[in-house]
Amino acid sequence: MRLLRWCATIMTVGVLAACSEDRPLGSSDTGIGGQDGPATVEDTGINTGGPDIVDPLGDSGTSGFDSGTGIVDTGVPAVVDGGGIYDDVGRSDVATGCGTDAGAPRPTGCLGAEIMNNGLDDNCNGTADEGSSCIPGSVQRCFLGPPGRRGVGACVDGMQTCQGSGEFGTWGACMGGISPRAEVCDRLDNNCDGRADEDLCCNSTGTCPAPGDMRIPTGGPFRTYTVRGSQFVMGATRYRWRVLGGPCDQLLSATSRGATTYTLNGMMNTTTAEGENLQFRPTLSGDYQVTLTITRADGTTLECVFIIPIRATGFRAELCWDRTGMTDIDFWVHRPRNTAPWVSGGTNTGDNCAYNNCRNSIIRSINWGYAATPGMDCREPLAGGGCNNPRLDIDNISTVGVPENINVDNPRAGDDFRVAVNYFGGTGAVRPMVNIYCGGALRATYGGADVGGMRYGAEPVTGFNTSGSNSTGSLWRVVDVVMDTPSTCTLNPLRPRGAPSGYCVATNNDRTFDGNCSR
């Protein structure tokens, strides 16, 4: 019997960041602010899998275009005056004419029409890439703000997922990230116009971090990440923290009674904490949005909103679903360069990394030729602190709000991993979601669920409704992940043979590599 007595989940919403300073408690006009001094990662040996923090979303490009997500219109519409709905964004709370920065603000870059699939709100109407075609399940970086302010000052990209059930879909809402807001006294360029604290006569007693700040380094899953509130403001009387996560975090929070996949100061199933220091221990890869509200001795407050990037190296697949605790859904990854069956005689084969053979140090019986990697980026490290590859960190049988993940930290160029989801136990229809990461960057989200009138993920999977242990239940063959390099990949979603699109789900005893699926 597989047992798991560990609990977690996250919720995430798209929040437009801002900063507020010198306001009394109870003020309704709040925003973003900052910190001073480095946050620390308590464990050693973090593998970031790429540049640290300079680009919290794991991609140094600025266009946000992801190859294969749609058709790029190379024609550039004419620049228009003003910032559309963002016209008031650049104005400070108090205009006194005595700012700390001289010079003209950075142009808004607003255009007369959208440019397809660049992740920008080119026409400044409050929506990124509306009307663009894309491949369902694809994800891209996006920015809600004037195009000319992207990546400037406090501004950070969010992410959007291509939604739809056909061969082509449309981009969903831009979630997360940090958008321009009114300038406040915190030494940070809040409105992302290339100037900090302009038009404000002030001497800030606190600072907020911009992307690339050494106070918010890159962390890894299953590591304790510490942020010290006194590095934002000294001598405060109260520190209040709020943490929000990524795609699986949103789904699990909506369907699993607000559970969280991370802990805050040792507490599970909460998105908030109090105390000078925050000890944050994540389970999943991705971007976590942190809001810190600091109360000074005189009753005024400073609010900082910033991104903590958590990055798993190599290839990582994550699974969550809408009915955790009631159904047992298993995650499978097939050995590369091999097309042997997934299951033989009712048992997962050595070519299938699954619950019975792929747990890091508890249940281990497969060897695909990858060396163990150093560090502690796994839930069950070896005696010497290493992590086997491949490995299943979490197998959730009956716990509410717990995801699963499979990692290969050190894949080889040319490796092709096939990802599948199996309905092992329980009754009733299930809506699974699979997220694929390569080199720490989210590359795609497949599946998802509609909850309370809101779409979480891409297009929900249908026909995934029958359990049957390893042999006869519903099996969703999801995607082939081809590693172009050890940290970049190409994704080939699987569809029913002969169909132009759609998820490849079958309920039968066919456990061959392909079943009725093709790329």
Question: What values do phi and psi take at 33, rounded to 5?
Answer: -150, -160
Question: Quick one: pLDDT at residue 52?
Answer: 30
| Per-residue pLDDT tens listing for the chain (519 residues) | 333 333 333 333 333 333 333 333 233 333 333 333 334 444 333 333 333 322 333 333 333 333 344 333 434 455 554 566 887 665 544 444 554 545 788 999 999 999 999 999 999 999 999 999 999 999 999 999 999 999 999 999 999 999 988 889 999 999 989 999 888 778 889 899 998 888 777 777 778 888 888 899 999 999 999 999 988 887 799 999 999 999 999 999 999 988 899 999 999 999 999 999 999 999 999 999 999 999 988 888 888 889 999 999 999 999 999 999 999 999 999 999 999 999 999 999 999 999 999 987 777 789 999 999 987 778 888 877 789 999 999 999 999 999 999 999 999 999 999 999 999 999 999 999 999 999 999 999 999 999 999 999 999 999 999 999 999 999 999 999 999 999 999 999 999 999 989 999 999 999 999 999 998
E strands present in 119-251:
133-134, 139-142, 158-163, 169-171, 225-228, 238-244
Give the three-class secondary structure for 406: strand
Return the domain boundaries, the chain.
315-518
Q: Which residues contact 102 (CB under 8 A, 6 or more apart)?
A: none
Question: Quick one: pLDDT at residue 79?
Answer: 54
Buried/exposed code over 205-230 (b: 16+ C-beta within 10 A; e: otherwise): bbbbbbbebebbbbbbbbbbbebbbe
Question: Quick one: pLDDT at residue 74?
Answer: 39
CATH number of the 315-518 domain: 2.60.60
Longest CA span, the chain:
78
Question: Quick one: pLDDT at residue 72?
Answer: 39
432 to each of 183, 435, 491, how far by Cα in Å?
42, 10, 18
Residue 155: DSSP 8-state: -
Question: Quick one: pLDDT at residue 77?
Answer: 57
Distance, in Å, from the CA atom of 233 to the CA atom of 209, rounded to the nearest integer, reads 12
Dihedral in degrees, nearest 10, Cα atoms 143, 149, 154, 156: 20
Q: Which residues contact 511 (CB under 8 A, 6 or more apart)?
A: 341, 342, 343, 344, 470, 471, 475
Sign of CA dihedral 370, 478, 249, 214: positive
Residue 456: DSSP 8-state: E
272-274 and 517-518 strand pairing: unpaired
Distance, in Å, from the CA atom of 161 to the CA atom of 169, rounded to the nearest integer, reads 10
